[in-house]
Amino acid sequence: MNARVPADGQPVAQFPIDDIVLGRSFRRELGDLSDLTASIQTLGLLCPIVITSDGVLISGRRRLEAMRQLGHATVPVWIASEVSDKLRTLLAIQDDNLLHKHFTPYQPKAGEEYMSNKQLAHFRKILEAVKKELSEDIDRTVHTMQDEATVFADPNDRASQETDMAIELRNRDRERKLIKKIDETLGRIESGDYGFCDKCGVEIGIKRLEARPTATLCIDCKTLDELKEKQMAK
C-alpha cells in the first residue's frame, strides 16, 4: 500500500523506501557505497532524502540505496512540491557530486603517531577541497539567479520559479554554514586540537574523521548527546 504524502513543508519522520519513485535524472551505477553505509551505521542518516509531494525522488539516490542495503524499510524524507524539472536535475547532479568526494583512505604505517603531520595534511586537503567546491557552488548560484531573474506572467510559472529559488537559497545557506564549520576545523588543525574529542579528550579516529571531517566528538560522546536530545524532546 502506498504511503500518504503530507502537504508541502510538513516533516515526515519515516517514509517507506519501496514507495519512493526514481526519476529519470538519476544514474543507475552508484559506485562503492561501503563508506556511506559505514557512515550511516555510525552516525545515522545526517541529511534526509528529498522527494516531491507525489513521492518522486529529487535528491538522495545514494543515501536511499545505502539505507536499503542496511535493511531499513523506511527513511527520513523532506517533502518539496512544485519543483521544476530543471532544478530536479541539478539537485540530482549535486547529490552525486557534492556529498561523496572520492579520496584515497589514509593507511597509517605501523607505529605511526596519531594525528601525525601526514595525517593532518590528509584531512587539510579533504577540507580545503570541499570548501573550494562549496564556494564555487555559491558563486554559480548567484550568477544563475541573476541570469534567470525573469518575471513570469503566469502564476504557476512564477510559483515554480519562486520555489526553485527558495530551495537553492536554502541549500546555499546550509553550504555557507558548512564553510564556516570547515574554517573552524582548519583552525583546530593549526592549533593541534584536531582529531581529539572535545568532551572526553580521546582519539576520534581516522575512519570517523574521513566519514565526517568536521567531527569534534568521539562516537561515544556523540551517541550520548543524541540520546539526551531525544529524551529532552519527549
Q: Coil, helix or strand for 23? A: coil
- Residue 77 backbone dihedrals phi, psi, to 5 degrees: -135, 160
pLDDT at 46 over 80: no
CB 72 within 8 A of CB 17: yes
Q: What is the pLDDT of residues 55-68, one digit of tens each?
A: 878 778 888 999 99
pLDDT at 38 over 90: no
CATH code for position 1:
3.90.1530.10
- Structural domain including 53 reads 1-84
Residue 113 CA to residue 125 CA, distance in Å, equals: 19
What is the value of pTM for the model shown? 0.56
Asked if the structure places residue 41 within a domain, the reply is: yes
Number of structural domains the chain divides into: 1
Asked if the structure places residue 56 within a domain, the reply is: yes
Q: What is the pLDDT of residues 153-185, one digit of tens each?
A: 555 555 555 666 666 666 667 778 888 999 999
pLDDT at 77 over 80: yes
Could you tell me the sign of the dihedral formed by the alpha carbons of 149, 155, 161, 165, in that order? positive
Between 2-11, 46-55, 158-167, the lowest mean confidence (pLDDT) is in: 2-11
Asked if the structure places residue 157 within a domain, the reply is: no
Residue 9: predicted pLDDT = 44
Please choose, from the candidates 183, 177, 148, 176, the residue with its C-alpha nearest in 3D space to the C-alpha of residue 162. 148
